[in-house]
Amino acid sequence: MQHLNQLQALRRQRAEWRQAGLRVALVPTMGNLHAGHLSLIRRAAASADRIIATVFVNPLQFGAGEDFAAYPRSLERDSDMLRDAGCDLLFAPSEAEVYPRGRDRQTYIEVPGLSDQLCGASRPGHFRGVATLVAKLFNLVQPEVAIFGEKDFQQLLVIRRMVEDLNLPIEVVGVPIVRESDGLAMSSRNSYLSAAERAIAPRLQASLITAAARLRSGANVAEVELDAKAALAAAGFEPDYVSVRRRADLAEPEPEPEHETRLGLGSAEDRALIILAAAQLGRARLIDNLVCDLDAPLAEPARNLRP
């Protein structure tokens, strides 16, 4: 596996692969890798001839008082994991390489609407920073396919909208959440949890499972959201939001016409839902989501997708 940190070196290698007619997949990460990231590499291997993974802790997506300085960095370990997983090239640039004019003079990419709600409302500018970096990587690498995890479902939709709006010839693929055996979604920030907090953390997914069951039974959306937040607070979290949204576009589902009776929601898009949650637990800000399709048979949520 090659390990590059200069933009020009990456461009040269990408040009060689293009000349050879090779299909390239891009897997952007912030490092401190875990099994969830490796699932992205495996999906990339099924989609392309060559895999480029990036490790870059992007300062533009951290707000004031957030954990940019403390974010776990483990480049040597990450490199070993990527090599063993079959990655062809690791690109791990410095901040000066990515933002040569500095953070304050960087041109930004913004995706309005999708970026301003949920995590975007709590973390102003976060998705602007994400979109700006990903757009730079897309322009640099020009991949045929880019792979992202579905744990940050809002981020996935922001990137898909950016690709659509900017007419970028890139397929954006989402990969299902990889969980620990007790249901906790894998995250680089899980390392912040104390032993006591780690024992509590799986209740985040449990709250989503309960919320989905209540929605299927016909419960009111607003009540489901409020009760889930209350349950998280009682368990020791500081909940930011629990929100039921349309899976297609994160819009709030519309109630069905009064003459309809099916579980309170009408159109197919308003019944193909996702429940998203974010909550603080100690130093860790945890996010999770659960698909809830009201017209599909009930399935047992996957609790352990580790390879």
Catalytic residue set: 37
Q: Which two tokens stand for residue 102?
A: 């500095």
In single-letter form, the type of residue at position 133 comes to L
Q: Which two tokens stand for residue 190?
A: 């899980």
Give the number of residues written for the chain.
Answer: 307
Cβ neighbors of 220 (< 8 A, separation 6 or more) are 264
Cβ neighbors of 193 (< 8 A, separation 6 or more) are 201, 281, 282, 283, 284
